[in-house]
Amino acid sequence: MRARTQQAVRIVVGITIASAVFGATVSSFTPDGARVGIFTGAVIGFVLSTLGSLMLGPWSRALQHWPMGVVFLLRTLIYGIVFMLVPNAISALVHGSFAPFRDPTRVVTGTTLALSFAFAFCINFALTVTRLLGPRTMMSFVTGRYYRPREERRIVLFADLIGSTKLGEQLGDQKFHAFLNQVFWDMTEPVLEAGGEIDRYIGDELVVSWVLPDRASTADERRTAAIACIFAIEDALAARAEHYRTRFGTVPRFRAALHAGPLVVGEMGDVKREIVLLGDTMNTTARIESACRTTGYDYIASAPAMPELGALPADVHAEKLGPVELRGKLQVVELFGLKRVTS
């Protein structure tokens, strides 16, 4: 099951259950009792969460250029229609009569409609904020996981567009922004499929990380997935090559650096809070990315980011570049150039 599909299923199940509980809560304001209220709530939750998941998934590219506020209002309009139709439809089925549609306020009273909109507003707001922050970051803020900084071992990927400065001058600021936005959209699916977490966009650079578990075999699977992610991003951009060539006159290429090690993760800021990753691992990854410019390899991984027990992805070859002295680092780092094996 694809990562976006898994995320959509979790959203649908969670909202359906919450809505069923809400249906039981407001059933005292309706004439049909708790069981019908629970069922009605579950159906409403399923319908709304499915539509919401489609907006985050298959329909997301179509809604890409819509302002977040417009999408929010669109969801609110859909909620209102569903709140009126579904309870009356279920009541009509239960009683075998179309009377609820002739007097819809008998089932959907002003109180239940107000409570339903309040509940839906909370769900809508949560989905919108999740879209802005990302699901994992959202949960980290809600649970306070990084309220106090904590040390974690992570794999870190820096993916930096090649030739972006010159391209920015050619396209102009507005069109270059559209180009970058499209590139990051197309990079997202491979990252999600690889289990990575998008941490930041820094100019024309994407920062992704994977938590390294203590179990060696699982950690190796994460390392392999991170390496495969680089080439999956390459494939995703290549699949959209004609679109980029037609709209922007170029096909995006990128450099990628992989490193792994300890870093500190914690919330930072006051009126605008972020979860930031700090430490030598981040600095070293940036230096490795710079080494791509001098080694002839667009993709480079350090020894700590390479699988220790497992194998590389089947179509990937790693060439040992030896211990390399990185700018600003006292210790040399063993690096590997990554490239796809062509048959």
Amino acid at 64: Q
Kindly list the structural domains of the chain, giving each domain's residue range(s) and its CATH number in brackets, ordered by start. 3-133 (no CATH), 147-340 (3.30.70.1230)
- Take residue 118 and report the two structure tokens written for it: 């309040």
Residue 104: DSSP 8-state = G
- pLDDT (tens digit, 9 = 90+) per residue, 94-134? 766 665 555 555 666 677 777 777 877 777 777 777 766 77
Q: Which residues contact 300 (CB under 8 A, 6 or more apart)?
A: 256, 257, 258, 288, 289, 291, 292, 321, 335, 336, 337, 338
Question: What is the torsional sign of CA 30, 32, 84, 122?
Answer: positive
Which helix (H) or strand (E) is 319 found in, with range?
strand 316-324
Question: Which has the closest alpha carbon to 119: 205, 20, 194?
Answer: 20
CB atoms within 10 A of CB 16: 20
- pLDDT (tens digit, 9 = 90+) per residue, 251-305? 999 999 999 999 999 988 877 888 889 999 999 999 999 888 888 899 999 999 9
**pLDDT of 247 above 80:** yes
CA distances from 103 to 91, 112, 115 (A): 11, 15, 20
Cα–Cα distance for residue pair 325/303, rounded to 1 Å: 14
pTM of the complete model: 0.76
